[in-house]
A and B are shown apart, each in its own frame.
Chain A
Amino acid sequence: MNESSAQIERPLEPKKRAIIVGASAGIGAALLRVLVEDGYHAAAIARRQEALQELCTEINTRAARSQTGAGRAYPYPHDVSNSGEVPGLFQQIVHDLGGLDLIIYNAGVMPPVALNEYSFEKDASMVQVNLLGGIAWLNQAAERFERTGQGHIVGISSVAGDRGRIISPVYNSSKAGFTTYLEALRNRLTRHGVNVTTIKPGQVETAMLAHVKKRLWVITPEAAAADMLKAIKSKKQTVYVPRRWGPFMLIIRHIPSFIFRRLSI
């Protein structure tokens, strides 16, 4: 790992630095790719060390070849359910990068849950990864950004957080919790000059979608990442990816309960 290149700072040529949590595959990997292409020095965090290392090497080789002000990806293996490790690791990464401008929490799991299944083990893992991990990482960033009066926090939540549905009660509630947490962060931090963006993707063609039968407007991770980067750059507050989920979820959110509970969506 060559951190020194990230640490040399020229006063008038500030580098852009990012952390992506949950970066080894799917949306995270695609986001890492577009951020590095956009010039970010990005720390990629994921559980699977080999996959992560391989991805970073591939991205860096390509970035080195393109030579157009591309950044660099730095792998940091970490399991987000191990939240006690976060404060030390966060400091270490920010030190290695030489600063921090952007943090994206993208880690999420959605194990297949049968309609009549109430497995606490599966449910706890979703809360742990989708919500508690996010709180552990973004709290670190929030404290730092509030103190220094700059920075951008991005949470990849989901359209699934907008309603509780029969097929995934805890996935819905973990994402709803994350969305509300991000909203609260935004309300706390906007006055300190910090941006908080909530991104709610619809269905994206990743491993998570493999066991999902009902499909609607599925897009590739690359298309999702491109939309997300645009939203991040324009410092949006809440965005649906792709955008058509916005009006759609507006309707879904307003279906009255006496109807919604009789539907099978």
Chain B
Amino acid sequence: MIDELTQTINIDQEKISLNWERGPMAMPTERLEELVAWGRASRTVGYVFRPSTVDDLRAVFGLAEASGRTVTFRAGGNSYGDAGANGENIILSVTRMNRILEWYPQTGRITVEPGVTLQQLWEYILGDGWWIPIATGTMKTTVGGCAAMNTHGKNGWQAGTFGDHVESFELLLPSGELITCDRQQNRDIFHAAIGGFGMLGCFTRLTMQMKRVYSGLIQVETYVTRNLAETMSYFEAHVAEYDYFVGWLDAMVRGRAVGRADIHKARHLAPGEDPMPAQTLRLENQRLPANVMGIIPNSLIWRFQRPFWNDFGMYFVNMAKYWAARWHNHNSYRQPHALFHFLLDYFDWDKPFGPGGLIQYQPFIPVANAEAAFGEIFRHCHKRGLPNYLSVLKRHRPDPFLISYGVDGYSMAMDFRITARNRPRVVQMTRELDEIVLKYGGRFYLAKDSTLRPAIAAAYLGDETIARFTALKQRLDPDCLLESNLWRRLFKDGGSG
């Protein structure tokens, strides 16, 4: 059996069998790699395999079983925390399973392998007049990763989450069995594997419905609010009129102005509004700018940002952003889809934060409590001397998946800079913030989480949900072959860590 395994995954057999007599088999050290979380606040070491076919995936499961190690899946590696980490164990990267298998331009239905990135996806379908239904802030995420973490975009209140647009998928179980799941067949697995952070099996093909567009451009309007209360009431009053709605809040300023925001609202163009859709839908017209002001290459921008990325500097950066936005208030313009959605791909957003990187803390709060909760959170951050450098407000709706974070309300994505010195203080503060979020009936999003504790996860998900998820995992993965750092941190042994 070992012979077959090593042949299929192309490993030098001598290296593996080195220690076979002693019990668990030794892993090939050439597979050791350091894996860095998006934001660079944490890193782990693991044995990385990059299979390209389902048979090779099975072989890696076999290797895991023989070596007594666990497996987690990793795709784009864009989670902020430890969802794609499995320290000292096996990381199964699906990045090479990146083929587009079927595409029907008439209906907008597409079937892809899990490693297909959102970039591959939109670049492929846009010419036919389709766009991705849910776009993350970077296009480097993958379909498999987005489904496993059930990501969202700036259109959450009307389009839901990524999983809402998945029609069916095939899931490879650790036993090697392939099962098909959709909203009729294996309904429970369908709703648990989406958002199930890879703990039930590996997506091997996913079928999704894309969104029809009639132009390569999107109509964007801006609006500036003067404080948190105005921001929240403006959102609530106008969000239904648009397709996308997002607010960049200034949380560095103290006092009454905290929460003043630069709001971007956007809507897709109706048929006929764009006189030449064939031209605007061309990829050449969707390229992100390569330079700022035509001279500074985007890859160097972080060096200019770096001196300002501290508590003192960010106060002025946020202020400048606010006043610049006020200068252009009520602006209305048309922008290519890619430029509107993928802000994270303009520059290296993590580099200005320095060697310690950043984490994001993103609570989801029901409408009724959102203003009170965010106000309290901002005040608490200032009290602890750890203000967040960038706050992004989005509107959401509840989602139907088992490990769910959706609420009929708002999320605030907050960037916190991490340094070797402030790390313990950030950890302590997030624990206090967790209590505030729970008090207001809030929830958390695992793709962005680095700090939750088992008790908090149990509190917002409910013991029953966790029990259902673990029971399902027990059924699909009885030997507990699938584990990640995230799983061990929050849910293993019923979360008694």
Q: Give the complex CA separation of A92 and B489 in angstroms.
A: 21
B427 pairs with A85, CB closer than 8 A: no
Check: B89 CB closer than 8 A to any chain A CB: yes
A87 pairs with B26, CB closer than 8 A: yes
Determine the chain A residues whose CB is within 8 A of the CB of B488 once the complex forms: 7-9
In the assembled complex, the CB of B420 is this many whole angstroms from the nearest CB of chain A, namely 10
In the assembled complex, the CB of B481 is this many whole angstroms from the nearest CB of chain A, namely 15
Contacts between the two chains (Cβ within 8 Å), count: 83
Determine the chain B residues whose CB is within 8 A of the CB of A92 once the complex forms: 24
Check: B107 CB closer than 8 A to any chain A CB: no
User: For residue A151, which residue of chain B has the nearest CB?
Assistant: B45
Contact residue among A8, A10, A87, A147 (Cβ-Cβ distance under 8 Å from B32): A147
Q: Give the complex CA separation of A45 and B345 in angstroms.
A: 48
A12 pairs with B418, CB closer than 8 A: yes
A99 pairs with B42, CB closer than 8 A: no
B24 pairs with A144, CB closer than 8 A: no
A94 pairs with B29, CB closer than 8 A: no
A11 pairs with B18, CB closer than 8 A: no
Determine the chain A residues whose CB is within 8 A of the CB of B85 once the complex forms: 9, 11
A88 pairs with B44, CB closer than 8 A: no
Determine the chain B residues whose CB is within 8 A of the CB of A85 once the complex forms: 22
Check: A121 CB closer than 8 A to any chain B CB: no
Q: Give the complex CA separation of A89 and B21 in angstroms.
A: 12
Check: A242 CB closer than 8 A to any chain B CB: no
Q: Give the complex CA separation of A92 and B82 in angstroms.
A: 22
A10 pairs with B22, CB closer than 8 A: no
In the assembled complex, the CB of A143 is this many whole angstroms from the nearest CB of chain B, namely 6
B18 pairs with A98, CB closer than 8 A: no
Known contacts A87-B26, A144-B32; decide if A12 and B497 are in contact (CB<8 Å).
no
Q: Give the complex CA separation of A87 and B83 in angstroms.
A: 29
A99 pairs with B44, CB closer than 8 A: yes
Stretch in contact with the other chain, from B33-41, B137-145, B281-289: B33-41
B29 pairs with A144, CB closer than 8 A: yes
Known contacts A7-B488, A91-B27, A147-B32; decide if A12 and B88 are in contact (CB<8 Å).
no
Determine the chain B residues whose CB is within 8 A of the CB of A88 once the complex forms: 18-19, 22, 26
Known contacts A11-B42, A91-B27; decide if A99 and B489 are in contact (CB<8 Å).
no
Determine the chain A residues whose CB is within 8 A of the CB of B493 once the complex forms: 4
Determine the chain A residues whose CB is within 8 A of the CB of B24 once the complex forms: 92
Known contacts A9-B44, A87-B18; decide if A148 and B34 are in contact (CB<8 Å).
yes
Known contacts A88-B26, A99-B45, A148-B32; decide if A9 and B485 are in contact (CB<8 Å).
yes
Q: Give the complex CA separation of A210 and B457 in angstroms.
A: 58
A12 pairs with B426, CB closer than 8 A: yes
The number of residues on chain A lying at the interface, defined by a beta carbon within 8 Å of a beta carbon of chain B, is 26
Check: A95 CB closer than 8 A to any chain B CB: yes
User: For residue A86, which residue of chain B has the nearest CB?
Assistant: B19
In the assembled complex, the CB of A46 is this many whole angstroms from the nearest CB of chain B, namely 18
Determine the chain A residues whose CB is within 8 A of the CB of B82 once the complex forms: 9, 11
B34 pairs with A149, CB closer than 8 A: yes
Check: B95 CB closer than 8 A to any chain A CB: no
Check: B173 CB closer than 8 A to any chain A CB: no
User: For residue B422, which residue of chain A has the nearest CB?
Assistant: A12
User: For residue B26, which residue of chain A has the nearest CB?
Assistant: A88
A32-87 residues with Cβ-Cβ distance < 8 A to B are 85, 87
Q: Give the complex CA separation of A227 and B301 in angstroms.
A: 45
Check: A247 CB closer than 8 A to any chain B CB: no
B472-497 residues with Cβ-Cβ distance < 8 A to A are 485, 488-489, 492-493, 497
Q: Give the complex CA separation of A12 and B427 in angstroms.
A: 7
Check: B194 CB closer than 8 A to any chain A CB: no
Determine the chain A residues whose CB is within 8 A of the CB of B450 once the complex forms: 10-12
Known contacts A92-B24, A99-B88; decide if A12 and B42 are in contact (CB<8 Å).
yes
Determine the chain A residues whose CB is within 8 A of the CB of B485 once the complex forms: 9, 11
B355-388 residues with Cβ-Cβ distance < 8 A to A are 359
Check: A256 CB closer than 8 A to any chain B CB: no
A11 pairs with B19, CB closer than 8 A: no
Q: Give the complex CA separation of A144 and B29 in angstroms.
A: 8
The digit string for A141-176, where 1 denotes a CB below 8 A from any CB of B, is 001100111100000000000000000000000000
Determine the chain B residues whose CB is within 8 A of the CB of A97 once the complex forms: 88
A94 pairs with B34, CB closer than 8 A: no
Q: Give the complex CA separation of A45 and B242 in angstroms.
A: 65
B88 pairs with A94, CB closer than 8 A: yes
User: For residue B359, which residue of chain A has the nearest CB?
Assistant: A12
Check: B423 CB closer than 8 A to any chain A CB: yes
In the assembled complex, the CB of A206 is this many whole angstroms from the nearest CB of chain B, namely 31
The digit string for B329-369, where 1 denotes a CB below 8 A from any CB of A, is 00000000000000000000000000000010000000000
Q: Give the complex CA separation of A4 and B88 in angstroms.
A: 13
Check: A117 CB closer than 8 A to any chain B CB: no
A2-29 residues with Cβ-Cβ distance < 8 A to B are 4, 7-14
In the assembled complex, the CB of A221 is this many whole angstroms from the nearest CB of chain B, namely 31
In the assembled complex, the CB of A145 is this many whole angstroms from the nearest CB of chain B, namely 10
* A-B pairs with lowest CB-CB distance, top 8: A88-B19, A11-B42, A11-B450, A148-B34, A95-B88, A8-B497, A88-B26, A148-B45
Given contacts A4-B497, A85-B22, 20 further A-B contacts (CB under 8 A): A4-B493, A9-B44, A9-B488, A10-B489, A11-B85, A11-B359, A11-B485, A12-B427, A13-B423, A87-B18, A87-B19, A87-B26, A88-B19, A88-B22, A91-B19, A94-B88, A98-B88, A99-B45, A144-B32, A144-B45
Q: List 13 A-B contacts (CB under 8 A).
A: A8-B488, A9-B485, A10-B489, A12-B423, A91-B29, A94-B88, A95-B89, A98-B87, A144-B29, A144-B32, A147-B34, A148-B32, A148-B34
